[in-house]
Amino acid sequence: MDYHRTSLDDVLPGGQDFPGLPATEPDSAGHRPAPRVQDAMDAEAFHSASTRILTAINTVIDGKADAARLALTVLLAQGHLLLEDVPGVGKTLLAKTLARSIDCSVSRIQFTPDLLPSDVTGVSVFNQATRSFEFRHGAVFANIVIGDEINRASAKTQSALLECMEEHQVTVDGTSYRLDEPFMVVATQNPIEMEGTYPLPEAQRDRFMARISMGYPDTESEIEMLETHQASSPLASVTAVVTAAEVAAMIATVQQVYVSRSIKEYTVALGRATRESGLLRLGASPRSMLQLLRAAKATAALEGRDFVLPDDIVSVAEAVLAHRIIVDRKASSAGETPHSVIRTIIAGIPVNPEVAASAHGDGRKASPLAAAPAPKLPNPR
């Protein structure tokens, strides 16, 4: 599969290797390049970049500002996104619009029953001229990987993404290759039609930071779609509004958002409550707590704050946790859903006023967002 690759001159987050080079062996010159440390953005630049991305998405996806914002949140939190809904509501369009708004490498994988793991990760091919094996990169070597109808591939092919999503590397024939940074998988699936599909195992679902159900647009948005999408798709007019280096800087800014101990305790209490709830057969994993906190930090940054509040945890809790938990059969037959259970658990965990007060973290190291707090991002529509 052909796709555009970013240059090695692009800035990489701290601790990352150059993409496509073996992670366990030196390069052809006998040494490995030193990782580059990405500087964080100031508040004004962060606000400007995030606004441009959201505006670009909302010019294509009518009436789904919340979905666009959550997709950007997952990107800045270094997570992966699962778009799950019925056909025709814009799942793939949202993924493609997010990818086009960033000047980075993008690949699209159409998952089918005959897709092989090597089609995703790559394969070693014997070169007759050099009498040696050469590694040919698979479609996963891109900044944003769009996996369309991911549940139509076999479990063997789905498992090819496990290492990619968790460790940002691919291991083939005993050699590990670093993936491009930033790296994000945006997968879509249809939960209605089950014929010819392979449900994602829990280990795979747990690697997705958040799940979005697009839903149908409201009346005005659907009328606007009929008026603007007749002649051509608005996706054709979308151009990159930020670079991969700018996204890396935004991610570095999110990483510096302060999280007080009381917020961490609140997050842990929420996770433990899901594991102890009689309504659930499977609670939230420790990995989900890490991703919940990272999503909350990205949410706080998009709100122009350099610290996390309990409201940030609550605002992303359903999107981050609902696809990871399993409702007990009795509770399910009584009408309970993962979303309703999470709302019940959140309502049952009181928030001490001191938690919000201590969230500001007096005396902490200053964050770039603290220098000039940005106003709340406006809704582009």
Decide the pairing of beta strands 280-282 and 242-243: unpaired
pLDDT at 158 over 80: yes
Structure confidence by residue, pLDDT tens digits, 198-241: 888 888 899 999 999 888 888 888 888 888 777 677 788 888 99
d(CA 321, CA 211): 9
- What is the rounded CA–CA span in Å between residue 289 and residue 295? 10
Evaluate if residue 362 carries a pLDDT over 60. no
pLDDT band with cut points at 50, 70 and 90 for residue 356: low
Instruction: Tell me what percent of the chain is helix, strand and coil, each rounded to the nearest 5.
Output: 40, 15, 45
Say how far apart CA 175 and CA 160 lie, in whole Å: 15
Q: What mean pLDDT value characterizes the chain?
A: 83
Cα dihedral sign for 304, 305, 308, 314? negative
Q: Which of 102-111, 175-184, 276-285, 347-356 has the lowest mean pLDDT?
A: 347-356
Residue 72: CB atoms within 10 A of its CB come to 23
pLDDT tens readout for residues 256-295: 999 999 999 999 999 999 999 999 999 999 999 999 999 9
- Confidence band for 370, pLDDT divided at 50, 70 and 90: low
CA 47 – CA 54 distance, rounded (Å): 11
Beta carbons within 8 Å of 203's beta carbon, 6+ residues apart: 162
C-alpha dist (Å) from residue 181 to 70, 213, 315: 20, 27, 27
Q: What pLDDT is attached to residue 366?
A: 55
What's the average model confidence in pLDDT over 113-129?
90
Q: What percent of the chain has pLDDT over 90?
A: 54
- The confidence score (pLDDT) of residue 354 equals 62
CB 43 within 8 A of CB 371: yes
Instruction: Please give the residue that has the higher pLDDT: either 11 or 214.
Output: 214
Model confidence, pTM: 0.82
Q: Per residue in 290-322, pLDDT tens?
A: 999 999 999 999 999 999 999 999 999 999 999
pLDDT of residue 37: 55
pLDDT number for residue 201: 86
Answer yes or no: is pLDDT of 24 > 80. no
pLDDT of residue 308: 95
